[in-house]
Structure 1
């Protein structure tokens, strides 16, 4: 027995409405669109991150003005004291300061995640028929573009003031590629904080407490041999030290197999550990 809905017209008469069976047939008549793949969904969310930068271009300050300031300030502030001249110090400093700056920029991923959570955007994402980690992976893929912009800006400034990579374009590309891979993996730490903490200020504060000791207590600025023994033990085993050494030697034309292996190993640990924690928080929050 079919169900027929009716409604009154302007003259009090009854108008026949659509049958329930007709509505059901209309809704299921066409083929449903295929479910997006994990890659497609992740790239879509990555593009969303790019669109946010388009509409708020001030977000590019940390990958343009900040890297320029870092290169110029540390080169001319410490160059004469540590290496005798700025032109000599830039050969050692630039790969290290490039590593430090990009790694520091990764913390803004957690701030962006926390902001979207506060606005309720993630509630909508969770209702979509997509690969669950896609929103998180999309954030990180979008941020990789920002890291590339920062790297390009810093390398350009370095070349202008005298940096000359012995490895040529191939060495520079290899160093930047390793840095991008590490930064993508390292960003999972901040997505975890973005989900765990309750405000953007909290995320920023905790991120600073973690990232400043990790980046400054490394071989970015000086050789660890000049440090006290107890500090050398920490610095020589820091993931940032291994990464900075690998990037520095790749750009110089070498092949630091041990440092590359350590950097890739740390990257895998960050993804496995913090990626798993992030997704657990995302599914339960």
Structure 2
């Protein structure tokens, strides 16, 4: 073998894989301007490249990244941490397993000092099990320890293998509530979890003749991952109510799981 060719092969063997050698996933993202970013991808076997995040640079030096991955709200999590060492350079990549943190752009002031930088987070060659929540903390510090947090970002990855939204239904007799409404039951439908694309809840009746009034959808302020819908209903013979979850997946609506209500004849008040 030619010595020059052998030398090139040897050099290439020290170069880690780059995100550009796998096709980037087509994705839809929301929350691009805040600290909780959600992206949905339809494919696997491609690279998920999340939108970049800007962080301040007081004095280029040592940076530490801490990554926590949670499969779902009830699943276990894993912590991964490693250091970004040295002065920041544009297009620098730091690879750990299939995770890449890359300096996409460096912003300088009028005299050339670095004031901020853009950090990109990439998941290479994504698989179905990658759906979940990635909590990333970037800290400035010394070689021995991390000190000041300069960026805290949550990334949520959804794909066609993500858990489907499962609604929970319940009914409350209005006679037990401090309400002045012309209805016998308050129906409650709720879904717990983060979903993207966004989900919609809809309570429907099996009969057009049984009156019911939908209460606007709400998101509980103390539990932002819960979507709810309520309806006031009047009891009718042989009438049931269903709560259906729909989710717009790019070009079609996917009917998710549903749950049902079968109100009993009330002990108080009039019935139709």
TM-score band by shorter chain is under 0.3
Q: Which has the higher contact order (CA 8 A, sep 6+)?
A: 1
Q: Normalized against structure 2, the TM-score is what?
A: 0.21
Q: Normalized against structure 1, the TM-score is what?
A: 0.21
Larger helix proportion of the pair: 1
